[in-house]
Structure 1
Amino acid sequence: MAAGKDKGNESAPEPKKEAKVGREESHNCCGCRFPLLIALLQLSLGVSVTVLSFIMAASCPSLLPRDTPYWAGICVSAVAVLGLILLCLPYQPDEKTMCQFVLKLLYFLLSALGLIICVTAVAFAAYHHSYITKFTCHMATDWCQCTMDSSDPLSRTFQYQNVSDCDSITGTMKLFVLLQMALNLLLALVCLASCFVMWKDRYQVFYVGQWFPGPAPNVARQQKV
């Protein structure tokens, strides 16, 4: 009887062990350990912004660096590579390893920086688009000269060198600027989502109020919101 009793006691903890294994396996999926979709979106959008910027620079070499925001695409692409590296790390609850904690913090800070850079790129593109719509252009040898107000002799003049005709500025370049606005805005939203996900991953539950001591220290309660 004693042997049977001991045998029954040994088999009792098995459900608890299976539950623990199930919880550990639940963290091994890509979505639980790190949002793979966000990192892939950052990489694809960052590469798209960079490629479009170099196409703009090749079609009109006189464009300023602020009008070809390859710097925004390269920055966010590097952040996405860091996110994919985080995806390959083994899961450690509560960031028990210093390497994982540092990489997560670095990814959060770089995503926040990428958000600021993308918003800046959107602002530059919107400013560029606002005065392209008001241009009055005429061709002179191998460059296109555009003015904001042709009736005002003191109006600001813009010169675009090494272009075939002015239609490439008022038409094609205007389309490129609109695409830059859309891509950088999407990229900013993805960076914002990555910051939120990393913040939520670190701080899942929020507590406010005071501790209410119970009859025993282990039964302390906390007000949740």
Structure 2
Amino acid sequence: MGKKSSSEQRDGGKRREDSPTADDERKCRVCRFPLLVALSQLLLGVAVTVVAFLMLAVSPSLLARETPHWAGIILCLVAIVGFILYCVNNRPDERSTVQFIFKILYFTLCVIGLVISLLAVAFAAYHHVQTSSFSCLPSTEACVCTLDPRDPIARTFTYEGVRDCQDITETLTLYYLLQIVLNLGQAFFCAVGAFIMWKHRYQVFFSGLQIGSFQRWNKA
């Protein structure tokens, strides 16, 4: 009986060592929450910020709502909090105060980032439609645009530092379109992050041992 039990222990040890759980944890470490979401937020935030400064290079007279670098910078901060939360989750004490604070902070920043990204999408969509219908004429180191050139009292838009008006009607319009796509991506990953945090907080009672005990109670 002693030999049999020792062999069973060896077999059990081998099965525990060969279990796919450890291999899956090594392979899917990048896929763990919130590492993948935070990495996507960081990349999109950097992309939004870079495109915004490229828009400022076209004309320095662009307003802050036309170059949403603020949306990209805020998403970079959200991503940094997500990375910190990922490191805190890997600590042995998963019920620490630090982990709770960073969970609340990450959830709040994801909601704020979602609102800011949608606001940036609204601004970019409005200016994209506006610049697409511009009629522009070059001036002295500037480009003067109007929506209706036949209207003598129509509102004019002066873009300083622009020598070629195609930079406004073509290049700037393309940048606005990129901002719409990138900020929609930011809004999506912020919504994903907030949803997963909310689900983990309020739907954790329907997972794990409680489901197993509920199934055994049904069978009985």
Query: TM-score, normalization: structure 2?
Result: 0.79
Give, in whole Å, the separation in 2 of the partners of 1:197 and 1:117. Answer: 19
SS at match of 2:39: helix
Between Structure 1 and Structure 2, which shows a larger proportion of strand residues?
1
Within a 5 Å distance, the mapping from 1:173-212 to structure 2 comes to: 173-205=172-204
Partner of 1:213: none
Identity value in percent = 50
Encode CA deviations 1:12-66: one digit per residue, 9 max, x unaligned: xx99xx8xxx999998974686232111000000000001101111221010010
Encode CA deviations 1:99-120: one digit per residue, 9 max, x unaligned: 1001000000001000000000
SS at match of 1:139: strand
Between Structure 1 and Structure 2, which shows a larger proportion of helix residues?
2
Give, in whole Å, the separation in 2 of the partners of 1:31 and 1:127. Answer: 37
Asked if the contact 2:66–2:127 (Cα under 8 Å) also holds between the matched residues in 1, the reply is yes
SS at match of 1:165: coil
Partner of 2:47: 48
Give, in whole Å, the separation in 2 of the partners of 1:86 and 1:99. Answer: 9
**Cα distance change, pair 92–32 in 1 and its aligned pair in 2 (3 A):** farther
Within a 5 Å distance, the mapping from 1:1-12 to structure 2 comes to: none
Partner of 2:95: 96
Asked if the contact 2:34–2:83 (Cα under 8 Å) also holds between the matched residues in 1, the reply is no
Asked if the contact 2:89–2:99 (Cα under 8 Å) also holds between the matched residues in 1, the reply is no
Within a 5 Å distance, the mapping from 1:27-106 to structure 2 comes to: 30=29, 34-91=33-90, 96-106=95-105
The letter of the residue matching 2:85 is L
**Cα distance change, pair 90–125 in 1 and its aligned pair in 2 (3 A):** closer
Give, in whole Å, the separation in 1 of the partners of 2:107 and 2:24. Answer: 23
| Structure 1 residues without counterparts, runs of 5 or longer | 208-218, 220-225
Encode CA deviations 1:54-88: one digit per residue, 9 max, x unaligned: 11112210100101000000000011011011111
| Structure 2 residues without counterparts, runs of 5 or longer | 207-213, 215-220
Give, in whole Å, the separation in 2 of the partners of 1:130 and 1:190. Answer: 26
Larger of the two Rg values belongs to structure = 1
The higher relative CO (CA closer than 8 Å, separation ≥ 6) is in 2
1:169 aligns with 2:168: yes
Give, in whole Å, the separation in 2 of the partners of 1:93 and 1:203. Answer: 22
Give, in whole Å, the separation in 2 of the partners of 1:31 and 1:196. Answer: 19
SS at match of 2:143: strand
Q: CA deviation at 1:91?
A: 4.1
**Cα distance change, pair 78–71 in 1 and its aligned pair in 2 (3 A):** same
Give, in whole Å, the separation in 1 of the partners of 2:41 and 2:186. Answer: 7
How many residue pairs match? The answer is 201
Give, in whole Å, the separation in 1 of the partners of 2:161 and 2:54. Answer: 14
Deviates more, 1:64-73 or 1:196-205: 196-205
SS at match of 2:65: helix
1:122 aligns with 2:121: yes
SS at match of 2:158: strand
Asked if the contact 1:45–1:187 (Cα under 8 Å) also holds between the matched residues in 2, the reply is yes
Partner of 1:157: 156
Q: CA deviation at 1:97?
A: 1.1
**Cα distance change, pair 97–205 in 1 and its aligned pair in 2 (3 A):** closer
Asked if the contact 1:50–1:70 (Cα under 8 Å) also holds between the matched residues in 2, the reply is yes
Give, in whole Å, the separation in 1 of the partners of 2:203 and 2:30. Answer: 16
Q: CA RMSD in A?
A: 3.2
